[in-house]
Amino acid sequence: MDVLLGAQWGDEGKGKVVDVIAPRYEVIARFQGGPNAGHTLIFEGRKHVLHTIPSGVFREGTMNLVGNGVVVDPVIFLKEVRALEAVGVDVRSRLMISRRAHLILPSHRALDAASEADKGKAKIGSTLKGIGPTYMDKTGRNGLRVGDLSLPDFKERYATLVRKHERLLSLYGRSDAPKETEEEWLDAVQQLRGFNTVDCEHYLDEALRAGKNVLAEGAQGTLLDIDFGTYPFVTSSNTISAGACTGLGVAPNRIGSVTGIFKAYCTRVGSGPFPTELEDATGEHIRKAGHEFGSTTGRPRRCGWLDLPALRYAVMVNGITELAMMKADVLNGMDIVRVCTHYRVGNTTVDRMPYDITSGIEPVYVDMPGWSSATSEGELPAELVRYIETIEAAVDVPITLVSLGPDRKETILREGTHVQ
Ligand code: IMP
Side-chain half-sphere exposure of 69, counting CA atoms within 13 A? 25
Cα–Cα distance for residue pair 182/266, rounded to 1 Å: 39
- Cα separations in angstroms, 150 against 53, 194, 336, 344: 22, 11, 59, 56
Index of the ligand 1 atom closest to the CA of residue 272: 10
Task: Find the 227 Cα to ligand 1 centroid distance in Å.
Answer: 15
SS3 content of the chain, % helix, strand, coil (to 5): 35, 20, 40
Tell me the best of 9, 31, 36 to mutate to test the pocket of ligand 1, counting ligand atoms within 8 Å of each CB and taking the most.
36
- Cα separations in angstroms, 168 against 113, 164, 176, 316: 12, 6, 10, 39
Give the number of other CB atoms < 10 A from CB of residue 231.
13
Task: Find the 131 Cα to ligand 1 centroid distance in Å.
Answer: 9
Task: Find the 295 Cα to ligand 1 centroid distance in Å.
Answer: 11
> Which residue among the candidates 2, 19, 39, 112 is catalytic per the annotation?
39
Contact, 102 vs 137, CB < 8 A? yes
Task: Find the 125 Cα to ligand 1 centroid distance in Å.
Answer: 7
Tell me the best of 52, 235, 262, 271 to mutate to test the pocket of ligand 1, counting ligand atoms within 8 Å of each CB and taking the most.
235
Residue nearest to atom 11 of ligand 1 (CA): 126
Residue nearest to atom 12 of ligand 1 (CA): 270
Instruction: Return the pLDDT at 418.
Output: 47
> Which residue among the candidates 11, 19, 225, 329 is catalytic per the annotation?
11
Parallel, antiparallel, or unpaired: how do β-strands 63-66 and 39-43 relate? unpaired
Index of the ligand 1 atom closest to the CA of residue 6: 20
Evaluate the CA torsion angle 53, 54, 58, 63 in order and state its sign. Answer: negative
Tell me the best of 5, 127, 295 to mutate to test the pocket of ligand 1, counting ligand atoms within 8 Å of each CB and taking the most.
127
Residue nearest to atom 10 of ligand 1 (CA): 270
Q: What is residue 214's three-state secondary structure?
A: strand
Cα–Cα distance for residue pair 268/224, rounded to 1 Å: 10
CB under 6 Å to ligand 1: residues?
10-11, 36-38, 124-127, 129, 131-132, 219-220, 224, 233, 235, 269-270
Rg (CA), the chain: 21
Catalytic, 202? Answer: no
Instruction: Return the pLDDT at 177.
Output: 66
Index of the ligand 1 atom closest to the CA of residue 237: 2
Task: Find the 235 Cα to ligand 1 centroid distance in Å.
Answer: 6
Q: How many helices (H) and strands (E) does the chain have?
A: 11, 20
Q: Mark the ranges of the chain whose per-residue pLDDT is less than 70.
A: 176-177, 415-420
DSSP state letters, 97-154: EETTPEEPPHHHHHHHHHHHHHHGGG------SSHHHHHHHHHTT---BGGGGGSTTH
Tell me the whole-structure pTM to 2 decimals: 0.95
Catalytic, 11? Answer: yes
Cα–Cα distance for residue pair 364/361, rounded to 1 Å: 10
Residue nearest to atom 21 of ligand 1 (CA): 10
Index of the ligand 1 atom closest to the CA of residue 224: 8
Task: Find the 317 Cα to ligand 1 centroid distance in Å.
Answer: 20
Residue nearest to atom 15 of ligand 1 (CA): 36
Task: Find the 288 Cα to ligand 1 centroid distance in Å.
Answer: 21
